Amino acid sequence: MPVASNPADQKFLDDVEKFGWVVRIIYPDDPDTEPMFHYSCGIFRRVGHAELIVFGLSPEVGHFLVNEYAARLAAGETFEPGERYEGFVGNWPVIFVDQLDQKAALHHLTWTDWYYDRKPFPVLQCVLPDPSNGKFPWEEGYRDQMHESQPLLFPISRFKSQ
């Protein structure tokens, strides 16, 4: 566990201790070129399952999704990478993807990396379908502009043949 060097660090550690995990909401410096994203910290330590990152959702929906993921894990549910799951974003399914590019993941999950003392921890990306048609990024019909709001931290080629 890291040592807090300032009040913000201490509040972060206190919140993880109090709630079991926290959700970080990252607002982009330039909303025209970068998406907002949410990620967890503490899930791996508290319930022994992967942390989570998700891009392109509003603050409220992203916060709900990450908390719902953690709460369902804490209640004993498991999520198999690559499978579709309901109950996270309206009527749309989501897919949790593993084997992320570690450098890209750590670039985004800075507080989580710090929390685990820069030691490896598992993380999944929650991938959302195109809201206009329900297609996932590797499916025909997924709109190109959706890639800007949901960058993928894994090679899309893993899913192209499915």
Model confidence at 159: pLDDT above 90: no
| Whole-structure pTM value | 0.93
Model confidence at 160: pLDDT above 80: no
Do residues 136 and 127 lie in contact, with contact meaning Cβ atoms separated by under 8 Å? Answer: yes
CA distance 120 to 110: 13
Band the pLDDT of 162: cuts 50, 70, 90. low
Task: Tell me the CA end-to-end span of the chain in Å, nearest whole number.
Answer: 40
What's the mean pLDDT in 76-102? 94
- Select the more confidently predicted residue: 4 or 94: 94
Q: Assign 41 to helix, strand or coil.
A: strand
Give the distance from CA 80 to its chain's centroid: 15
**pLDDT at position 161:** 57
CA distance 31 to 115: 27
Q: In the predicted model, what is the mean pLDDT of the chain?
A: 93
For the stretch 10-34, pLDDT in tens is 999 999 999 999 999 999 888 888 8
Do residues 93 and 74 lie in contact, with contact meaning Cβ atoms separated by under 8 Å? Answer: no
What's the mean pLDDT in 79-85? 96
Do residues 127 and 37 lie in contact, with contact meaning Cβ atoms separated by under 8 Å? Answer: no
Model confidence at 107: pLDDT above 60: yes
**pLDDT at position 45:** 97
